[in-house]
């Protein structure tokens, strides 16, 4: 039964109209924890990924922002099992974690890079990707003092330092990831194994969360859409929220929750 349910989940990405509808619902409902988690349970999603009072760490971010790498690298580094809520790509996880004072790591990647990679992997338009990015980060911006922000470059180059910042902020004692070639290759090997198992055949390559020459060539086919004059306003908005979140001199966002 579990195998059948997994297959049904992945079929959404094989039917573009269904996938885009699902993403539109996710963009809207993902801002409201009560609504999103009710819908998620109705679709019989993996409840192990949902934040709960027993969760020890939340790792969330926009798709293609090193989410899978961060989760697996974190697990590799730990000497004992840690309960992690992860990979739903909705701000509802971050909001609920902030309310329950659960240690949280929010991942962020430069907008154009993240959206190009997302459009490459899944049947989503550039415009929908931009709106999704904007909705996600404008929502979590209001809770900026409740989590550690991990830049894509930091996660993929020195994830141990990112874990150290989580420990410093929340008083946790998570083991640090040793970011050397052996450990990184181990994480990528696990990622590829997971993707091959879930997707099979020859369809795994566009979905695996690691760089490849084939993916770089495919990106050229969608770049022109991002540069379209029609995207100018949305591009400006997503770059502005990225700059606000990553600026060391950032000002509080409108409606931002006070730090505890």
Judge whether 26 lies within some domain.
Answer: yes
What was the pLDDT predicted at 203?
44
Judge whether 119 lies within some domain.
Answer: yes
How many domains does the chain divide into?
A: 1
Judge whether 117 lies within some domain.
Answer: yes
pLDDT at residue 18 is higher than 80: no
Quick: pLDDT tens for 174-219.
999 999 999 999 999 888 887 777 655 444 444 555 556 666 666 7
pLDDT at residue 48 is higher than 90: no
Res. 43 pLDDT band, cuts 50 70 90: confident
Judge whether 259 lies within some domain.
Answer: no
Judge whether 252 lies within some domain.
Answer: no
- Check residues 231 and 43 and name the one with the higher pLDDT: 231
Question: What is the chain's mean pLDDT, rounded?
Answer: 84
Judge whether 38 lies within some domain.
Answer: yes
Domain CATH for 211: 3.40.50
The full DSSP string for the chain is -HHHHHHHHHHGGGSHHHHHHHHHHHHHHTT-HHHHHHHHHHTT--GGGS--TT-SEEEEESTTSSHHHHHHHHHHH-SS---EEE----HHHHHHHHHHT--EEEEE--HHHHHHHHHHHSS--HHHHHHHHHHHHHHHHTTGGGSEEEEHHHHHH-HHHHHHHHHHHH---PPPP--SHHHHHHHHHHHHHHHHHHH-TT-SGGGSSS--HHHHHHHTTTHHHHTSGGGHHHHHHHHHHHHHHH-TTPPPPTTPPPP-
Residue range(s) defining the domain that contains residue 107: 2-246
Quick: pLDDT tens for 52-102.
999 999 999 999 999 999 999 999 999 999 999 999 999 999 999 999 999
């Amino acid at each position: 039964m579990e195998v059948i349910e997994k297959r049904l989940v992945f079929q959404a990405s094989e039917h573009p109209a269904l996938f885009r509808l699902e993403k539109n619902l996710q963009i809207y409902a993902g801002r409201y924890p009560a609504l999103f988690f009710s819908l998620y349970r109705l679709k019989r999603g993996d409840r192990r990924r949902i934040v709960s009072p027993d969760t020890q760490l939340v790792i969330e971010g926009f798709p293609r922002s090193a989410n899978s790498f961060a989760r697996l690298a974190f697990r590799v580094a730990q000497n004992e099992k840690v309960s992690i809520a992860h990979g739903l790509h909705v701000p509802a996880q971050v909001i609920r974690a902030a309310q329950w004072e659960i240690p949280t790591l929010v991942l962020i990647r430069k907008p154009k890079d993240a959206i190009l990679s997302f459009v490459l992997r899944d049947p989503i338009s550039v415009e929908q990707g931009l709106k999704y990015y904007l909705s996600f980060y404008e929502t979590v911006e209001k809770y900026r003092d409740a989590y550690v922000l991990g830049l894509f470059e930091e996660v993929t180059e020195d994830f141990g330092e990112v874990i150290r910042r989580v420990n410093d902020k929340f008083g946790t004692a998570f083991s640090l990831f040793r970011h050397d070639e052996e450990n990184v290759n181990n994480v990528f090997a696990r990622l590829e194994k997971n993707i091959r198992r879930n997707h099979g055949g020859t369809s795994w390559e566009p979905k695996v969360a690691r760089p490849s020459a084939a993916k770089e060539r495919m990106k050229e086919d969608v770049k022109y859409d991002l540069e379209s004059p029609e995207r100018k306003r949305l591009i400006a908005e997503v770059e502005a929220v990225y700059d606000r979140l990553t600026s060391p001199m950032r000002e509080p966002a409108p409606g931002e929750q006070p730090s505890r």
